[in-house]
DNA sequence: AGTATGATGGACT
DNA sequence: GTCCATCATACTA
């Protein structure tokens, strides 16, 4: 069960987005390990993607990390309340990113419950259990991912990705991306990927 | 089931 | 001042 290394990320976002399904996101925080399987992703790819924060080659401090080496984290703050976590793909000066949209918790459920709802896992009702990590803002809260994780090297830090179980036989569903109605023709690009029938997927 | 609405603040023009 | 790669809650049915 190895940590994913730089070459994995050094491809276009559509490929990386698909292949990230079934992989495991791990955060080692203060002696507590949080781990969860990636079940939903979205690709943001290239200068022509009107939904992407780097559309048209826009290059501001916020998106700078996306123009750098692959395998780093791009975290952004949205709607005044939430953080979203992306993996930088593609090569240098080739902007590609994969938004992690949903996870299936594997380890550290107690801490995730505390992070999300400020109460122990045993007190969660069913919809809260699903709600731990079934959205991009939710999973960041559960994993304790905030702006301080901007630019983390996922190949070298407390936050990383590793291979999933080998028996992960699943079907990949391809769908439109979520929350980008402003993006004209790009809003219909089929660049969202999720594991069919997984209950943690945010939008079916 | 679905639809609507308000929260809340940083990035950018 | 405007725009968000969202979410929780409050409705209607």
Provide the pLDDT for residue A26: 98
Q: CA A204, CA A192: separation in Å to the nearest integer? A: 11
Provide the pLDDT for residue A1: 67
Provide the pLDDT for residue A169: 81
pLDDT tens across A130-182, in order?
A: 999 999 999 999 999 999 999 999 999 999 999 987 666 899 999 999 999 99
Provide the pLDDT for residue A166: 66
8 Å CB contact between A42 and A201? no
Cβ neighbours of residue A50 closer than 8 Å, sequence gap 6 or more: A183, A184, A185, A186, A187
Q: CA A132, CA A139: separation in Å to the nearest integer? A: 7
Q: Compute CA distances A116 → A22, A36, A79, A201, whole Å.
A: 23, 15, 17, 17
Q: Is the CB of A181 under 7 A from strand B?
A: no
CA of A79 to C1' of B5 (A): 14
pTM for the structure as a whole: 0.97
- Residues of chain A short of pLDDT 50, as ranges, are none
* Structure-derived torsion over alpha carbons of residues A134, A79, A75, A185, reported in degrees to the nearest 10: 80
CA of A57 to C1' of B1 (A): 42
Residue A134 token pair: 């079934």
Which SS3 state, helix, strand or coil, does residue A172 take? strand
CA of A19 to C1' of C11 (A): 40
Ordered by where they begin, the domains of chain A are 6-107+146-194 (3.10.300.10)
């Amino acid at each position: 069960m190895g940590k994913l290394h730089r070459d994995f990320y050094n491809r276009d976002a559509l490929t990386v987005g698909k292949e990230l399904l079934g992989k495991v996101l791990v955060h080692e925080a203060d002696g507590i390990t949080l781990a969860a399987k990636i079940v939903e992703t979205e690709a943001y790819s290239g200068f022509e993607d009107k939904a992407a924060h780097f559309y048209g080659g826009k290059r501001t401090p916020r998106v700078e990390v996306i123009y750098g080496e692959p395998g780093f984290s791009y975290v952004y703050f949205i709607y005044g309340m939430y953080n979203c976590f992306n993996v930088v793909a593609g090569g240098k000066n080739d902007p590609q990113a994969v938004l992690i949209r949903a996870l299936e918790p594997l380890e550290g459920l107690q801490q995730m419950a505390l992070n999300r709802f400020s109460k122990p896992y045993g007190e969660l009702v069913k919809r809260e259990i699903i709600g731990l990590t079934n959205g991009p803002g939710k999973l960041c809260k559960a994993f304790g991912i905030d702006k301080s994780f901007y630019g983390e090297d996922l190949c070298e830090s407390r936050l990383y990705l590793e291979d999933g179980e080998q028996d992960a036989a699943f079907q990949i569903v391809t769908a439109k991306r979520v929350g980008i109605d402003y993006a004209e023709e790009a809003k219909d690009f089929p660049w969202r990927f999720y594991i069919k029938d997984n209950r943690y997927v945010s939008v079916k």
